[in-house]
A and B are shown apart, each in its own frame.
Chain A
Amino acid sequence: GDSVTQMEGPVTLSEEAFLTINCTYTATGYPSLFWYVQYPGEGLQLLLKATKADDKGSNKGFEATYRKETTSFHLEKGSVQVSDSAVYFCALSEGGSWGKLQFGAGTQVVVTP
């Protein structure tokens, strides 16, 4: 079945460093891809999404490009802040079943001052 693999954390960075979180997927069809963020004690929030190949999702300085050839959707941010400390989840939506998101295992990001 469909699955999502993302890099293990925790990822610890200094403020203003460059962040990359790798995400690859396997899917039989053409899924939509998402990044969600979970701040401590809160539910998940949509960070960005891409619905077809070569789409780039972006929000709050984060970007991710839907790469069909490498089945990847890596998340990047050029200069992180302490407030970006959170758990980041890559997810895909399975064809024919809306809302049934397949999540990756989550990557904890810790940004230090």
Chain B
Amino acid sequence: DTAVSQTPKYLVTQMGNDKSIKCEQNLGHDTMYWYKQDSKKFLKIMFSYNNKELIINETVPNRFSPKSPDKAHLNLHINSLELGDSAVYFCASSRASLDSPLHFGNGTRLTVT
């Protein structure tokens, strides 16, 4: 009964490949997010969707493309992977209000070689 689940947990791939990370939440939340955590643990938002509509799109290379088939799912596709894309990617969800806490998945550790 995991609230926010993302797959895979680990992803090791070579430069230039295309990969996807999937995320699903069963909390009934309207809003989902992708955050990137670098090797120094710094967290930065990448994208946010509310009811399948993109509402936050930070300065992220257009090689990164989120897709939300429904409000319970938010997937992240990355084209032409680069070494600098290596990080832990966290999916999260929340209700649509300013003080509503985020519920995070356990992360996907992406390693690009």
Closest to A33 in B: B99
Find out whether the CB atom of A44 lies under 8 angstroms from the CB atom of B90.
yes
Give which listed residue, A36, A45, A97, A98, contacts B100 with CB less than 8 A.
A98
Is A43's beta carbon under 8 Å from chain B?
yes
Find out whether the CB atom of B102 lies under 8 angstroms from the CB atom of A46.
yes
Find out whether the CB atom of B33 lies under 8 angstroms from the CB atom of A51.
no
Is A68's beta carbon under 8 Å from chain B?
no
Is B4's beta carbon under 8 Å from chain A?
yes
Q: How far is the CB of B90 from chain A (nearest CB, A)?
A: 6
**CA of A112 to CA of B22 in the docked complex: distance in angstroms?**
37
Q: Give the contacts of A54-111 with B (CB-CB under 8 A).
A: 87, 89, 93, 95, 97-101, 103, 105-106, 108
Find out whether the CB atom of B100 lies under 8 angstroms from the CB atom of A103.
no
**Residue interface mask B17-55, A partner, CB < 8 A = 1:** 000000000000001010000001111110010000001
Find out whether the CB atom of A106 lies under 8 angstroms from the CB atom of B33.
no
**CA of A97 to CA of B31 in the docked complex: distance in angstroms?**
12
Find out whether the CB atom of B42 lies under 8 angstroms from the CB atom of A49.
no
Is A25's beta carbon under 8 Å from chain B?
no
Find out whether the CB atom of B48 lies under 8 angstroms from the CB atom of A42.
no
Using Cβ atoms and an 8 Å threshold, which residues of chain B touch A95? 98
Q: Give the contacts of A14-72 with B (CB-CB under 8 A).
A: 32, 34, 36, 38, 41-46, 49, 51
Closest to A42 in B: B106
Measuring CB to CB, which residues of chain A are less than 8 angstroms from any residue of chain B? 32, 34, 36, 38, 41-46, 49, 51, 87, 89, 93, 95, 97-101, 103, 105-106, 108
* 17 A-B pairs (CB sep. < 8 Å): A36-B102, A43-B4, A43-B104, A44-B92, A45-B104, A46-B102, A87-B41, A95-B98, A98-B100, A99-B45, A99-B56, A99-B92, A99-B100, A103-B43, A103-B44, A106-B41, A106-B42
